[in-house]
Amino acid sequence: QVRLEESGGGLVQPGGSLRLSCAASGGTFSNYFMSWFRQAPGKEREFVCAITWSGGNTWYGDSVKGRFTISRDNSKNTAYLQMDNLEPEDTAVYYCAAEAGGWSSSRYDWANWGQGTQVTISS
C-alpha cells in the first residue's frame, strides 16, 4: 500500500501560479498511475488530471485543460501539479491519488489517497 503526502498549497491571487507536490512512500512508485482530484466546500470530489506510470500519457478535466500540468519524477517518488492562470473557482482541497490498475476520472476507482492540501485563490 503506497502512502501519499501532498504539499505546496496556499493562498494565491487570481492569475497566479502554484505547484503542488505529492510524495509517495511504502510502495513502488513507478508501478502506479497518479492523479489529482479536488473538492470545494459543498461539492463532490472532482477529477483534475492523471498520468501514466512513465509519464508518457496524461488526461485532464475540462475545467483545467491548458492551465494545469501534471508530471512525475519516478527517481524522487513524487508527482507534481503545476497550476497556472489560477481562478477563484480553483479554490479547493487538492488530493493526489495512486492506482496500480489504470486510470479513471471517478474517485471511486482510486485506492490510495493523500490527506489533501488547501489551495485558495483570492485577491
Q: Band of the pLDDT at 38, cuts 50, 70, 90?
A: very high
Task: Give mean pLDDT, residues 62-81.
Answer: 97
Specify the pLDDT at position 76: 97
Residue-level pLDDT at 27 = 87
Measured distance CA(110)–CA(44) in Å, rounded: 15
Mean pLDDT of 59-85: 98
Counting every residue written for the chain, the total comes to 123
- The span from the CA of 59 to the CA of 80, in Å, is 14
pLDDT for 74 beyond 90: yes
Which band of pLDDT confidence, cut at 50, 70 and 90, is reported for residue 1? confident
> Above 90 in pLDDT, residue 73?
yes
State what percent of residues in the chain have pLDDT above 90. Answer: 97
The helix, strand and coil proportions of the chain, stated in percent and rounded to the nearest 5, come to 5, 50, 45
